[in-house]
Structure 1
Amino acid sequence: MASFDLSAIGISGPILLLLGLLSLASVSVLVARLLTLWSIGSERAKRDEALEKLARGEAVIVSGQSPADRILLRAAVLIEAEVSIEVLTSELEQRGNAESYALYRGVRFLELVGMIAPLLGLLGTVLGMIQSFRSLELAEGAANASILAGGIWQALLTTAAGLVVAIPALVGAAILTARAETGSTEIERTMVGALSSASRRMKK
């Protein structure tokens, strides 16, 4: 039974190793961020109920750990402290921007992997082709098609590897972006609701 000899890959070996490391890193980032963002828009009803309590002047207990819940908790503290609408708006905008920015963590890395992995694969292919034609030149009269064909498939292997790494990374970036946008929308909705609750409470 024939075995695959990694040494036969030649000059493309380090690039394949680098692509493997990029693949491992991108999968780790994707899994970690998905676990964090998957339930990002949940418990909306509980937040709406808490906002209604704030408007009525009742005590609010926030048990969730999502970014929107943290915004709600901060809003509840400020409203209970009876700060002005201007101060409340400024504070919530600052916190909201920081929370929204954090939601996109990891997306840029996956996009970067998606961009450079095919380029690394192409680089490996070019280097492999150079090596292949160099071997063909050195073979002189003993050259045959098998020498060239063997070098070509080894070179093209890096292009395939680059695409295998890039495609999941770009798909993962799109998924994380969609989840982050959901979280940002929920943060904004919570901020608007908190400001509305504060205004209603002040009118009473």
Structure 2
Amino acid sequence: MIDFSALGSIFELGGPVVAILFVMSVLTLSVTIYKLWQFSTLRVGRHSHLSQALQAWDNGDGAGAQAQLAQSRSYLAPILDSAMHGADRHGIEARLDAEAGMALARLERGFRLLDTVAQIAPLLGLFGTVLGMIDAFQGLQEGGASVDPSLLAGGIWVALLTTAVGLAVAMPSSMILAWLESRTARERVFADMALRTVLVPESAAPQEISDPHVLQGHA
């Protein structure tokens, strides 16, 4: 259970900078949850049926390839189905590359936000620390020789709080972004390989494939 009184104390100590960093952390968490759901729904990284379909197509078994595609729930399945049914059409390669690029671009939505948080959060935390240090040393100047060192130390640790919060927000954001980018990069390589396999199979022209609408309902 969230201790709102503790959060209120942190906001009071760190000021508006900590409040902004808290909002950024909530945005990062929201984007992360959404991307995990999106990757799971689109079957990112799960290509067992697609790999079997490509193998069948490469061996000249068009019907077997279609049967495997029909069992796949990957976002790439409709694109590969179009490639199989239009492998001999002029300009189909460019069109399929564009469709695959659009699909991969959807996977990258939210990456810019995570990158922005990872870069801005530590700078924002440092900015809050600088402001806090200015206040602390102003108090030291106003107190003259009678300043209690413990008060100065208290002001300094409060000022450093914003830097700690900024790093605590930035580091997970950077790690999550790196993981998502690596998954997307592997998807890009697989999509390119899959399209090239369909358009330029090792075997002769595959056997006649089934109805072009066989994948409807499996996208």
**TM-score category, normalised to shorter length:** 0.7 to 0.9
Q: CA deviation at 1:202?
A: 7.6
Q: Take 1:180 and 1:50, find their aligned partners in 2: how far apart are those partners?
A: 21
With over 3 angstroms needed to count, the CA separation of the structure-2 counterparts of 1:198 and 1:18, relative to structure 1, is same
Q: CA deviation at 1:77?
A: 4.4
1:110 aligns with 114
Alignment of 1:149-164 (within 5 A): 149-164=153-168
Superposed CA deviations along residues 106-126 of structure 1, whole A, max 9, x for unmatched, are 222212111111000100000
Higher helix fraction: Structure 1 or Structure 2? 1
Q: Take 1:47 and 1:144, find their aligned partners in 2: how far apart are those partners?
A: 71
* 3-state SS, counterpart of residue 67 of structure 1: coil
Superposed CA deviations along residues 174-199 of structure 1, whole A, max 9, x for unmatched, are 11011111211221122112202598
Superposed CA deviations along residues 20-72 of structure 1, whole A, max 9, x for unmatched, are 1111111221222123325412133x224434359445382534332322321
Q: TM-score with structure 1 length normalisation?
A: 0.81
Alignment of 1:1-204 (within 5 A): 5-6=9-10, 9=13, 12-37=14-39, 39-44=43-48, 46-51=49-54, 52=56, 55-58=60-63, 60=66, 62-79=70-87, 83-84=88-89, 86-197=90-201, 200-201=204-205
* 3-state SS, counterpart of residue 200 of structure 1: coil
Structure 1: gaps of 5 or more residues: none
With over 3 angstroms needed to count, the CA separation of the structure-2 counterparts of 1:87 and 1:6, relative to structure 1, is closer
Give % identity. Answer: 32
Q: Aligned-residue CA RMSD in angstroms?
A: 2.8
Superposed CA deviations along residues 70-114 of structure 1, whole A, max 9, x for unmatched, are 3213324435xxx52x32212111112222222222222212111
With over 3 angstroms needed to count, the CA separation of the structure-2 counterparts of 1:6 and 1:91, relative to structure 1, is closer
* 3-state SS, counterpart of residue 204 of structure 2: helix
Q: Take 1:150 and 1:202, find their aligned partners in 2: how far apart are those partners?
A: 76
Superposed CA deviations along residues 127-175 of structure 1, whole A, max 9, x for unmatched, are 0011111222233354221221111000000001111011101100111
Does the 8 A contact of 2:57 with 2:198 survive in 1?
no
Structure 2: gaps of 5 or more residues: 209-219
Equivalences, count: 195
Which stretch has the larger CA shift, 184-193 or 133-142? Answer: 133-142
With over 3 angstroms needed to count, the CA separation of the structure-2 counterparts of 1:28 and 1:194, relative to structure 1, is same
2:217 aligns with none
* 3-state SS, counterpart of residue 170 of structure 1: helix
Q: For residue 36 of structure 1, what is the amino acid of its counterpart?
A: Q
Q: Take 2:201 and 2:63, find their aligned partners in 1: how far apart are those partners?
A: 11
